[in-house]
Amino acid sequence: MFKKEVYIDRRNRLKKELGSGIALFLGNVDAAFNYDANQYHFRQDSSFLYFFGLDHTGFAGVVDVDNNTDYIFGNDVDMDDIIWMGEQPLVKDLAVEVGIHATEPFDKLAAFVSGAMASGRKIHYLPPYRGETYIALSELLNVSIKGIKNNVSIELIKTVIKLREVKDSNEIEEIEKAVAIAWEMHTTAMHMAIPGVTEQKIAGTIEGISLALGGPVSFPVILSMDGQTLHNHYHGNTLSKGRMMVTDAGAETQLHYASDITRTVPVGGKFDTRQAEIYQIVLNANIAAIKAIKPGLKYRDVHFLAARTLVDGLKKAGIMKGDTNAAVNAGAHTLFMPHGLGHMMGLDVHDMEGLGEDYVGYDEQTQRSTEFGTAYIRLAKTLKPGFVLTVEPGIYFIPPLIDQFKNKGKFTDFINYNKLENYKDFGGIRIEDDILVTETGHRILGKPIPKTIKEIDETMSYRIG
């Protein structure tokens, strides 16, 4: 946990922004894995963590803006819990650690909420994402489960995003710890990536590193020779020479800040000519995009800069042709990179995505496109100092997508489909880093993880099986 002043300040800023009403934050509860007493590793809700810091199951936090009072509702453990879990601090003592002096048993929350509603006060709440939270909100607010999403507070969503999107120095330090763990995960994956080793063995090993050095992985590990599938969680292949391995993996720190790094390496460590050519194009896009990042720039413009770099490279490789700007304006690059350049990162790996991607990634001046590929941009809006985001360009050779575009006669001015046939067995490449937007530009977070062809070659000449 951070110092209590951090949480007091966050709640005070929330009150100032919101102006009136009550903000209700339901923390998460334990979730059953395969029977009630066997549970998933507990993960607290990120907005609850941000404002209340307490990493405990079954709590609710309330910010009463009108009365300038913050509450924790939660139950002290009973003897049964103590027998199984050991002695636990009292709720009132936990609350003091985050600057809260008003605590109540959890079952008092219903009367508190209904009393406030009866006196005409607005209850602000965020969109839930777990069934348990839907049910709890439905009961507390006397709204049907279906009605819960329709009554979320847009004001609260916007306020929470305004606060959480700008990271302070404590948060940056945590994110750098998460990247340091990712360094261990990715360099280990590189050392292990030799023919005959299974993807599962490497994926399991690096997930263990995350747990050993911080917390769980920040999202399920993506590790595959079939990197053309963007979020590939199948780890059933045995690595073979001539293929590349995409590893997209990050860790959570003990305070639940995330990292999200992707590296792509040739199995065995030596790039062949074709791999080196495509890899260098993606690396150029990654470097050009990072170099451009500064406050005041729309991230969508950085996305298109990366897209132009990819097209320039693919033209040199003979896979694309024509005018680069015209190709990007037409959307021809989306055959190779049908996703956005990156997303916000913080307490969630796709930070605050549960609050609504359009609220997090777009602003009044930046509206979402409806075009294939460009519509998937998660972050498009104007950058501000304190934003932490990912830069993750890729080139993917997705055979069914290639066939579909070709059969529809799409982008024939820009794509050399004959040449492209030779790449259907290639897979994909993504290179992803975590970046802080500073007052004057940007900073790549954490200890650099091998990224150039030379660095990867050198790193992979040391092997563990």
Nearer to ligand GLY, 153 or 228 (CB): 228
Q: Is 219 in the site for ligand GLY (CB under 6 A)?
A: yes
Q: What is the dihedral of CA 297, 301, 303, 308, to 10 degrees?
A: -130
List the one residue out of 280, 288, 287 whose CA is nearest residue 314: 280
Answer with the entry of ligand GLY, Mn ion, none that 49 interacts with (C-beta below 5 to 8 A by kind).
none
- CB count, 10 Å around CB of 138? 16
Nearer to Mn ion, 328 or 344 (CB): 344
CA distance 310 to 430: 12
Using CB under 5 A as the criterion, what x/- string covers residues 335-374 for binding Mn ion?
A: ----------------------------------------
Cβ of residue 62: shortest distance to Mn ion, in angstroms? Answer: 33
CA distance 133 to 95: 21
Cβ of residue 261: shortest distance to Mn ion, in angstroms? Answer: 7
Question: Which two three-digit tokens encode residue 45?
Answer: 């809700």
Question: Which two three-digit tokens encode residue 318?
Answer: 């003979």
Among 45, 70, 248, 357, binds Mn ion (CB under 5 A): 248
Answer with the entry of ligand GLY, Mn ion, none that 219 interacts with (C-beta below 5 to 8 A by kind).
ligand GLY
Q: Is 260 in the site for Mn ion (CB under 5 A)?
A: yes
Cβ of residue 238: shortest distance to ligand GLY, in angstroms? Answer: 24
Q: Report the SS3 class of residue 396.
A: strand
Among 432, 436, 437, 445, binds ligand GLY (CB under 6 A): 432
Nearer to Mn ion, 159 or 262 (CB): 262
What are the phi and psi torsion angles at 459 (to 5°)?
Answer: -65, -40
Among 176, 248, 312, 348, binds ligand GLY (CB under 6 A): 248
Nearer to Mn ion, 8 or 230 (CB): 230
Q: Is 312 in the site for ligand GLY (CB under 6 A)?
A: no
Answer with the entry of Mn ion, ligand GLY, none that 264 interacts with (C-beta below 5 to 8 A by kind).
none
Specify the residue for token string 């199995």: 267
Stretch that binds Mn ion, among 1-9, 74-82, 135-143, 243-251 (CB under 5 A): 243-251
Q: Is 390 in the site for Mn ion (CB under 5 A)?
A: yes
Question: Which two three-digit tokens encode residue 375?
Answer: 């519509």
Q: Is 434 in the site for ligand GLY (CB under 6 A)?
A: no
Among 357, 392, 433, 434, binds ligand GLY (CB under 6 A): 392
Nearest to ligand GLY by Cβ — which residue? Answer: 219
Q: In this structure, are residues 447 and 180 in contact, taking their beta carbons and an 8 Å threshold?
A: yes
Nearer to ligand GLY, 153 or 286 (CB): 286
Answer with the entry of ligand GLY, Mn ion, none that 103 interacts with (C-beta below 5 to 8 A by kind).
none
Q: Is 349 in the site for ligand GLY (CB under 6 A)?
A: yes
In sequence order, what are the residues at sequence separation of 6 or more whose Cβ sits closer than 8 angstroms to the Cβ of residue 198? 235, 236, 237, 238, 239
Cβ of residue 260: shortest distance to ligand GLY, in angstroms? Answer: 5
Amino acid symbol at 457: D
- CB count, 10 Å around CB of 26? 25
CA-CA-CA-CA torsion sign (276, 277, 282, 285): positive
CA distance 10 to 171: 13
Q: Is 302 in the site for ligand GLY (CB under 6 A)?
A: no
Question: Which two three-digit tokens encode residue 421?
Answer: 């046939």
Nearer to ligand GLY, 99 or 346 (CB): 346
List the one residue out of 310, 340, 334 whose CA is nearest residue 324: 310
SS3 percent helix, strand, coil of the chain, rounded to 5, is 45, 15, 40
* H or E stretch covering 433: strand 433-437
Chain positions contacting Mn ion, by CB under 5 A: 248, 260, 262, 390, 432
Interacting residue ranges for ligand GLY, rule: CB under 6 A: 219, 248, 260, 343, 349, 392, 432
